[in-house]
Amino acid sequence: MSEASGVRYVNQEKSQSPSEFEAKAPGPQPACANDRDVTSDRVNKAEKPDKSAFGEKLKKWRSLRHMSQNDLALAANVSSRHISFLETGRARPSRKMILRLAEVLDIPLRSRNDLLDAAGHRKSFTQTSLSDPCLGQVSAGLNALLAAHDPFPAFVMDDDWNVLRANKAASRLLSILMDGMKVPASNSANVIDWLVEEEGVNSILLNWQEIGVELVRRIHRKGEIQGSAPTRHQHLAKLVASLESSKEPLNPKTQDPFLPVRIRKGGLELTLYSVVTKIADPRDITLQELTLQTLCPANSETQQLLLSLSKLGN
């Protein structure tokens, strides 16, 4: 984002534009840490693992997936007695067993590492920086997608709603919309922080209540799928407090086939809808938690306005 907006992106790499990334095709990629050592079954002998810690985590994930011990046993092709022994700490699981159960329970990679660690095994899944050379192809691909969506806004976020990258259209639009607007004191590049700041972004959203309620639901759903996390609880608390203090009544739902984002700032008025893209079958925590969010014009007026802004910016 431009400095005029008062906000900086999280973990921003060298100031390369999407087009610069696109023009520079990466050479042979070095091996990621994931390729070098993900199968070792060595136990961390620094301290003896607490068998009950693994069992409690396994039981929590089984409950989140609404599966009985017998359901999990059948799906993983093991005995229900063994599942019971694992949950009560009477048996210690092998690395292979943990990964099999995690796959059946569709547990996120970060939490699979937690399960391995709780059982005394080395973690299997890396969390590689997006600027690491071994993710060069992915980085270039994301920047190509960002550039291709111009003149419409698009950005890349992590699992905590931090904006990592944005295309020129997003930076241009945010600079205009946030001109003279109050931003988080920390210059946070977190979408939730932007939205809940008093007299911040929510003040120009015509349907802020509707969007806020949907965000609360979305975070709740993510908690049901991915488990609890401190940051998630903080986001929920901020959103709920902001919605409760809002003076605007909850707008009635329209007949739109999607939840629109309606923005009004001065003489500008836009209506957008979002499309979310995820990387399929990731084997790295960073990649699993990345989201490409693209905003598209919901009517011809918004389309023409964004095209005009693009021409002015060029």
Residue 12 is predicted with a pLDDT of 42
Q: For position 114, what pLDDT does the model report? A: 96
φ and ψ of 270, to 5 deg = -130, 150
- State residue 275's pLDDT score: 96
Which residue has 């008025």 as its token pair? 269
Q: Is residue 195 within 8 Å of residue 242, measured between CB atoms?
A: yes
pLDDT at 181: 64
Q: How far apart are CA 218 and CA 288, in angstroms?
A: 17
Residue 296: DSSP 8-state: E
Q: Which pLDDT belongs to residue 243?
A: 80
Please report, for the chain, the start and end positions of each structural domain, with discontinuous segments joined by +: 3-26+130-313, 39-118
Burial 229-261 (b: 16+ CB within 10 A, else e): beebeebbebbeebbeeeeeeeeeeeeeeeebb
Evaluate whether 214 touches 241 at the Cβ level (below 8 Å): no
Query: Are the C-beta atoms of 206 and 263 separated by less than 8 Å?
Result: yes
Residue (of 143, 139, 103) closest to 124 by Cα position:
103
Neighbours of 70 (CB within 10 A): 12
Instruction: Tell me the β-bridge partners of 273.
Output: 296
DSSP helix/strand/coil, 125:
coil
pTM to 2 decimal places: 0.80
Residue 179 confidence (pLDDT): 77
Encoded amino acid at 181, one letter: M
pLDDT value of residue 26: 44
pLDDT of 33: 59
Sign of torsion over alpha carbons 214, 218, 219, 221: positive
Longest pairwise C-alpha distance within the chain? 68
Name the architecture of domain 39-118: Orthogonal Bundle (1.10)
From the first residue on, what is the mean pLDDT of each consecutive set of 10 residues in the chain (314 residues)?
Answer: 45 42 43 51 54 91 96 98 96 96 96 96 96 96 97 94 94 84 63 82 88 88 76 83 69 72 92 96 96 97 94 72
At the second CATH level, the architecture of 3-26+130-313 is: 2-Layer Sandwich (3.30)
296, 302, 303, 305: CA torsion to nearest 10 = -130
Return the bridge partners of 205, or none.
263
φ, ψ of residue 306 in degrees (nearest 5): -65, -35
